[in-house]
C-alpha cells in the first residue's frame, strides 16, 4: 500500500513532533503493509527550504535505520476564501504538489461553502493542477448534499477518504458520507491522515481488510495501492470499474 496523506515530517505542523515520532510512524506503517508514504504536512508559515530539508533528513534517517519504505514529498494545501491568491503562488513554488506532479492535496475549512469548493477546483484545473480533495466526507457542504461530490469529480477533482471516517472517528455525518462515497465508487483514495505513532496512526492494514470484506480486495487495492502509485508516477487516474 501507499499512504497518500500522512503528517510524518517532524516539527512542521500538528503531526510528528520529533524525528523519533517520524521513525516510529514509518516503522509502524511498514509493519502494517505500507510500502510508500506521501509526506503531506499542512501548508504553513515554514519556508519551502525548511520543508525540503525536513523531507531529506527523514529520508536519510529511514535509510540509516533500514526501514524499507519509500517517501514522496507533498503538502496538504489549506485553501481559504483567499484561494485565488494562494493558487497564484504556483508561480513561486506553491502549492507543493505531490512528487513534482500536477497532483496536489487540498483541504478547506469544514464549513466551506459549495461555491468555494467548486470555484477552487475550477481554478486549480485551469492552472494545470489536479486537486485531490482531502477528507471530503468531513465538509458540511458535501455531507448535506452528497451529489456535490459527483459534481466536483466531474469538474476534475479526486476524492481522498480518511480511514478514521469509516469507523466514526470524525462523527456520524462523516461516517455516513464516507460510506456513500465508497458505495457509489466516488472515492479515489483511502489514506491514514496520520498525525502521530499513536491515536491517529499510519496503520492501513485494518482499513484495507475492512474495505476488502465490505466490498472487494480489488477495490481496496484500487484505493490504497493502484491510484496512489499512479499519482506518484504522474499517471492518469480513472474511477473504479472504468
- Tell me how far CA of residue 198 lies from CA of 78, 119, 170, in angstroms: 24, 36, 17
- Tell me how far CA of residue 205 lies from CA of 70, 102, 221, in angstroms: 17, 28, 11
pLDDT value at residue 94: 58
- Residue 120 within any structural domain of the chain: yes
pLDDT in tens, 57-84: 999 999 999 999 999 999 999 887 665 5
Query: Largest Cα–Cα distance of the chain, in whole Å?
Result: 48
pLDDT value at residue 85: 57
pLDDT value at residue 47: 84
- Residue 237 within any structural domain of the chain: no
- Residue 223 within any structural domain of the chain: yes
Count the domains in the chain: 1
pLDDT value at residue 82: 62
pLDDT in tens, 149-196: 999 999 999 999 999 999 988 999 999 999 999 999 999 999 999 999
Domain that holds residue 209: 2-232
pLDDT in tens, 82-138: 655 555 555 455 578 999 999 999 999 999 999 999 999 998 898 889 999 999 999
pLDDT value at residue 227: 98
User: Do the bridges between strand 103-108 and strand 36-39 make them parallel or antiparallel, or are there none, so unpaired?
Assistant: unpaired
Quick one: average pLDDT of 223-238? Answer: 97
Please report, for the domain that includes residue 142, its CATH number: 3.20.20.140
53/168 Cα distance (integer angstroms)? 36
Say yes or no to pLDDT of 53 above 90: yes
pLDDT value at residue 123: 87
Residue 102 CA from chain centroid, whole number: 14
Amino acid at each position: 500500500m501507499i499512504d497518500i496523506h500522512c503528517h510524518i515530517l517532524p516539527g512542521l505542523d500538528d503531526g510528528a513532533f520529533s524525528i523519533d515520532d517520524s521513525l516510529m510512524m514509518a516503522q509502524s506503517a511498514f509493519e502494517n503493509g505500507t510500502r510508500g508514504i506521501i509526506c503531506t504536512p499542512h501548508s504553513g508559515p515554514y519556508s519551502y527550504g525548511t520543508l525540503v530539508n525536513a523531507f531529506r533528513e527523514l529520508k536519510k534517517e529511514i535509510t540509516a535505520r533500514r526501514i524499507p519504505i519509500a517517501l514522496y514529498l507533498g503538502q496538504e494545501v489549506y485553501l481559504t476564501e483567499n484561494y485565488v491568491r494562494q493558487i497564484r503562488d504556483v508561480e513561486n513554488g506553491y502549492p507543493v504538489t505531490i512528487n513534482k506532479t500536477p497532483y496536489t492535496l487540498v483541504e478547506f475549512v469544514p464549513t466551506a461553502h459549495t461555491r468555494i469548493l467548486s470555484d477552487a477546483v475550477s481554478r486549480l484545473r485551469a492552472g494545470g493542477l489536479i486537486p485531490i480533495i482531502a477528507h471530503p466526507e468531513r465538509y458540511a457542504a458535501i455531507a448535506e448534499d452528497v451529489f456535490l461530490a459527483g459534481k466536483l469529480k466531474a469538474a476534475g477533482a479526486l476524492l481522498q477518504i480518511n480511514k478514521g471516517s469509516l469507523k466514526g472517528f470524525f462523527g456520524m455525518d462523516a461516517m455516513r458520507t464516507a460510506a456513500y462515497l465508497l458505495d457509489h465508487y466516488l472515492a479515489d483514495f483511502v489514506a491514514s491522515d496520520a498525525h502521530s505513532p499513536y491515536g491517529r496512526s499510519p496503520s492501513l492494514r485494518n482499513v484495507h481488510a475492512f474495505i476488502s470484506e465490505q466490498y472487494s480486495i480489488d477495490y481496496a487495492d484500487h484505493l490504497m495501492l493502484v491510484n496512489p502509485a499512479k499519482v506518484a508516477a504522474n499517471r492518469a487516474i480513472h474511477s473504479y470499474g472504468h
